[in-house]
Structure 1
Amino acid sequence: MVARSLDFVKTTDAAMPDRIESSSSLPVDDVSVRVDQIADAALRLFARYGYKRSSMDDIAKEAGLAKATLYLHFKGKDDVFRAMLDLLARRVEARCREVLSTTGPFPERLNALLQAHHGLAYASFGTGEHLVELKAVMNTIATRELQAFEQIFTGFARELLQDAQDRGEIILSRASLDSESWIGGLMFAAAGAKTGTPPSSEDYARRLKTIASVFSAAVT
Structure 2
Amino acid sequence: MPREVRTRQMLDAAVEVFARCGYRTASMDEIAELAGASKPLVYLYLNSKEELFSACVRREAEALIAAVRSAVDPGAPADRRLWNGLRAFFAHTAAHPDGWALLHCQARTYGEPFALEVARLRQQLVDVVTDLIARTAREGAEQECALPEREIAGLAHALVGAAESLAGWADSRSCEAAGRTGAPPSEQEAAGTLMNLAWAGLGNLMNGRRWAPARS
- Whether these two folds match at TM > 0.5 is yes
Partner of 1:78: 50
> What is the aligned-residue RMSD (CA, Å)?
3.7
Deviation at 1:37, TM superposition (A): 3.3
Letter in 2 for 1:218: G
Structure 2: gaps spanning 5 or more residues:
177-182, 204-216
**Greater Cα radius of gyration, structure 1 or 2:** 1
Could you list the per-position Cα deviations for residues 128-150 of structure 1 after superposition, in whole angstroms to 9, with x for gaps in the alignment? 88887515435454022111211
CA distance in 2, matches of 1:171, 1:42: 51
Partner of 1:14: none
Partner of 1:149: 121
Out of 175, 200, 209, which is 2:192 matched to?
209
Out of 130, 133, 157, which is 1:184 matched to?
157
Deviation at 1:33, TM superposition (A): 5.0
Letter in 2 for 1:198: S
Deviation at 1:38, TM superposition (A): 2.0
Percent identity between matched residues is 22
> Aligned in 2, Cα 1:131/1:97: closer, same or farther, shift over 3 Å?
closer
> Aligned in 2, Cα 1:213/1:202: closer, same or farther, shift over 3 Å?
same
CA distance in 2, matches of 1:172, 1:111: 24
Correspondence list, 1:10-159, <5 A: 33-101=5-73, 103-117=75-89, 119-121=91-93, 123-126=95-98, 134-137=106-109, 139=111, 141-159=113-131
> Aligned in 2, Cα 1:130/1:115: closer, same or farther, shift over 3 Å?
same
Could you list the per-position Cα deviations for residues 182-206 of structure 1 after superposition, in whole angstroms to 9, with x for gaps in the alignment? 0111122223333598248952632
Structure 1: gaps spanning 5 or more residues:
1-16, 18-29
Deviation at 1:93, TM superposition (A): 2.3
> Aligned in 2, Cα 1:190/1:45: closer, same or farther, shift over 3 Å?
same
TM-score normalised according to structure 1 size: 0.68
Partner of 2:174: 198
CA distance in 2, matches of 1:182, 1:127: 26
| Aligned residue-pair number | 192
TM-score normalised according to structure 2 size: 0.69
Letter in 1 for 2:116: R
Could you list the per-position Cα deviations for residues 22-72 of structure 1 after superposition, in whole angstroms to 9, with x for gaps in the alignment? xxxxxxxx6555444322221223344444443111111222222111111
